[in-house]
Amino acid sequence: MSEVMKKAAAAKAASVQMAMATTEKKNEALLAIADELTANQDEILAANKLDLDNLVRKKDYNKAFYDRLALSPERIAGMTEGVRQIAALPDPVGEVTGMWVRPNGLQIGQVRVPLGVIGIIYEARPNVTVDAAALALKAGNAVLLRGSSEAINSNIALVKCLQQALEKVGLPAGVISLIEDTERAAVQEMMRLNEYLDVLIPRGGANLIKTVTENASIPVIQTGTGVCHTFVDASADLEMAERIVFNAKTNRPGVCNAMETLLVHEKVADAFLPRILEKFFASGVEVRGCEKTCAYDERVKAAVDEDWSTEYLDLILAVKVVKSFAEAVSHINRYGTGHSEAIITTHYQRARDFQAQVDAAAVYVNASTRFTDGFEFGLGAEMGISTQKLHARGPMGLVALTSTKYIINGNGQIRS
């Protein structure tokens, strides 16, 4: 039996026990996980250093990728805090979402239940290991993790901590498992384990998501790429706009909620673009702009059509001057990926129209797209940002990791 099959079978068996676990037991496990992460910080950081050193030897990486892979005491503390937040959240399992009585006396209820076994295929970011495992556990699921080869040492160290915590509270290690085989064949096998996995969630770049959605026989929840836009409207407070767009691009350029395209209304372009371009260039941002944008600074590179649909995940930004609100919305709905979009405006109706007309999981008024995050939304953490419209959309917290079933009580009814 292959590693993938063996661990999937163990996860399936563990999911039965997890479905019956009390809220108290799940919270006990989560708090034990937080303690293990803190106690084993040095071991985790040492493993992460191996991954970072291996990445540097490849010489073809970029800084944004390095940042996604890197752990630090502060990031481990953030993961730990996220786990504790999840423990403090209400347990969705067992929640009665509806109850009614039919004319024949049948009492019908709908109740939340775990999905079962969740498979996660993800890239680079080791924090996903902890976030995904903690969320799946609190929602009563078992989880089978398959991270990227670049993060294998970090992930092994993290999962060791998670499984030690499970053992301490009396839950089976199969609740959280990591596929350590880094060959692509392991992913191919995992994507077709319908007998063991109930749902598959890919979390990473466009190529990964496309590969999983096109090849998996298991139901897939898509966590999409983030070609996120910010539109500086004609009525925008330009000082506010400057703060927001700079944060949206440079705070962490290698994550999916970073801004990739800046749209500027032509009425404020003269006042806004020179100063924000200078700020971007001073921070090492490469700007690719439309013809009008290029006219403001010779350092702007001429954009090609591909730039409007590219998720750079780097210090690269596409900039376009638009003639109207309608053109901005049209551009976003054409090139956006349904992730996160923002408008900077002081015009109330335009703000409402933007939120109504833009098709995305998260639509902001006067705030950075960087807030699209389970932790920032008060969900504790997230399994990913879903850009599809069925079952889950936006940051996937606990409720998104449950399904429902009907509970019917009768007293002898038969159907005629």
Residues 336-365: tens digit of each pLDDT: 999 999 999 999 999 999 999 999 999 999
Residue 38 lies in a domain: yes
Residue 24 lies in a domain: yes
Distance CA 384, CA 256 (A): 10
What is the predicted pLDDT for the residue at 388?
83
Residue 333 lies in a domain: yes
Residue 170 lies in a domain: yes
Distance CA 135, CA 400 (A): 10
- Chain segment 274-304, per-residue pLDDT in tens: 999 999 999 999 999 999 999 999 999 999 9
More confidently predicted of 324 and 391:
324
Residues 382-408 have a mean pLDDT of 89
Same domain, 98 and 114: yes
Q: For 251-298, what is the HEC assignment?
A: CCCCCCCCEEEEEEEHHHHHHHHHHHHHHHHHCCCEEEECHHHHCCCC
Same domain, 250 and 313: yes
Distance CA 283, CA 222 (A): 33
Among 174-178, 287-291, 390-394, the minimum mean pLDDT is found in 390-394
Is the per-residue pLDDT at 73 higher than 70? yes
Quickly count: other Cβ atoms within 10 Å of residue 285's Cβ: 18
Helix (H) / strand (E) containing 119: strand 117-122
Same domain, 93 and 205: yes
Same domain, 206 and 246: no
Same domain, 244 and 156: no
What is the predicted pLDDT for the residue at 380?
65
Tokens 């089976």 correspond to 172
Is the per-residue pLDDT at 59 higher than 80? no
What is the predicted pLDDT for the residue at 201?
94
Indicate which CATH number applies to the domain containing 186.
Answer: 3.40.605.10
Can you give the residue range of the structural domain that contains 73? 3-223+383-409
Residue 387 lies in a domain: yes
What is the predicted pLDDT for the residue at 277?
98
Is the per-residue pLDDT at 320 higher than 70? yes
Distance CA 167, CA 180 (A): 20
Same domain, 106 and 37: yes
Is the per-residue pLDDT at 92 higher than 80? yes
What is the predicted pLDDT for the residue at 217?
96
Is the per-residue pLDDT at 69 higher than 70? yes
What is the predicted pLDDT for the residue at 379?
78
Same domain, 128 and 13: yes
Residues 41-62 have a mean pLDDT of 92
Same domain, 356 and 388: no
Judging by DSSP bridges, how do beta strands 286-289 and 301-302 pair with one another?
parallel
Please give the mean pLDDT across all residues of the chain: 95
What is the predicted pLDDT for the residue at 205?
78
Same domain, 399 and 253: no
Same domain, 252 and 322: yes
What is the predicted pLDDT for the residue at 70?
95
Residue 68 lies in a domain: yes
What is the predicted pLDDT for the residue at 346?
98
The residue type of 346 is T
What distance lies between CA 365 and its chain's CA centroid?
21
Is the per-residue pLDDT at 224 higher than 80? no
Name the token pair of 260.
């990739």
Distance CA 277, CA 163 (A): 48
Distance CA 74, CA 358 (A): 36
Is the per-residue pLDDT at 84 higher than 80? yes
What is the predicted pLDDT for the residue at 225?
84
Indicate which CATH number applies to the domain containing 262.
Answer: 3.40.309.10
Residue 414 lies in a domain: no
To the question of pTM greater than 0.75 for the whole model, the response is: yes
Q: How many structural domains compose the chain? A: 2
Judging by DSSP bridges, how do beta strands 199-203 and 228-232 pair with one another?
unpaired
More confidently predicted of 210 and 52:
52
Is the per-residue pLDDT at 144 higher than 70? yes
Quickly count: other Cβ atoms within 10 Å of residue 266's Cβ: 13
Same domain, 190 and 237: no
Residue 415 lies in a domain: no
Same domain, 214 and 311: no
